[in-house]
Structure 1
Amino acid sequence: MCLAIPSKIIRIENSTAIIDVYGAQRDISLLLLEEGSVNVGDYVLVHAGFAIQKIEEDIAKETLGLFKKLFELEDKKEQ
C-alpha cells in the first residue's frame, strides 16, 4: 500500500520545492504539477518524492491529524 502525505511547501526553487511535514523538511519535485500552480504556503500530496496534487489547507490539516492519531495508536500497540 502506498500513501500520499500532505506536506506544506516552505520554499520553491525552479521545479523543486522544500516541504515540511511533522517538522521534517525535504526536497521534492514539482514536475508533475502544472508550472506555477503552487506557491509557498500551499499544501501538496507527496508520493515517491513528487508533488502529485495541490490540496486545500483544511483537508491537509485534517489528514495530518488522522495520520498523527494512527502513528500514536501504532506506538501504543508496539509497547
Structure 2
Amino acid sequence: MCLAVPARVVEVLPEAMARIDAGGVLKDISVALVPEVAAGDYVIVHVGHALGRLDAEEAQHTLDLIAEMAAAGEACDER
C-alpha cells in the first residue's frame, strides 16, 4: 500500500527543493512537480516528492483522519 501525506512547507529551497514539516518532523523534499509552491502552503507528499498543493482545511481534515486511524490501531494493540 502506498500512502501520501499532507505536510506544511516551511521553506522553499534552491534547485526545486523545499523543507516541510510533517507532524513535527522536518524533511527536505522535491517540489519539481509543484513549482508554484510557497512557504506556508500544504502539499501532499509521497516518497520525498510533493505531488500537489492542498488547501489548509483539506490538509487538516486528512491529518485528523490519519490521527484517528493511529489511535484506533493503538486501541487494538492494547487488547
TM-score, L = length of structure 2 = 0.92
- Structure 1 residue ranges (4+ consecutive) displaced by more than 6 angstroms after TM superposition: none
* RMSD of Structure 2 on Structure 1 (CA): 0.8
> Which runs of 5 or more structure 1 residues have no equivalent in the other structure?
none
Once residues 24 and 73 of structure 1 are traced to their aligned partners in structure 2, the CA distance between those partners, rounded to angstroms, is 22
Q: Deviations over 1:41-79 (max 9, x none)?
A: 000000010000101110000100110111111111112
**Given residue 6 of structure 2, which amino acid in structure 1 is its aligned partner?**
P
Once residues 44 and 32 of structure 2 are traced to their aligned partners in structure 1, the CA distance between those partners, rounded to angstroms, is 13
Percent identity (aligned): 34
Once residues 76 and 25 of structure 1 are traced to their aligned partners in structure 2, the CA distance between those partners, rounded to angstroms, is 28
> Which runs of 5 or more structure 2 residues have no equivalent in the other structure?
none
Matched, 1:11 2:7: no
Once residues 21 and 30 of structure 1 are traced to their aligned partners in structure 2, the CA distance between those partners, rounded to angstroms, is 15
Counterparts of residues 21-60 of structure 1 (less than 5 Å): 21-33=22-34, 35=35, 37-60=36-59
Number of equivalenced pairs:
77
Once residues 41 and 30 of structure 1 are traced to their aligned partners in structure 2, the CA distance between those partners, rounded to angstroms, is 14
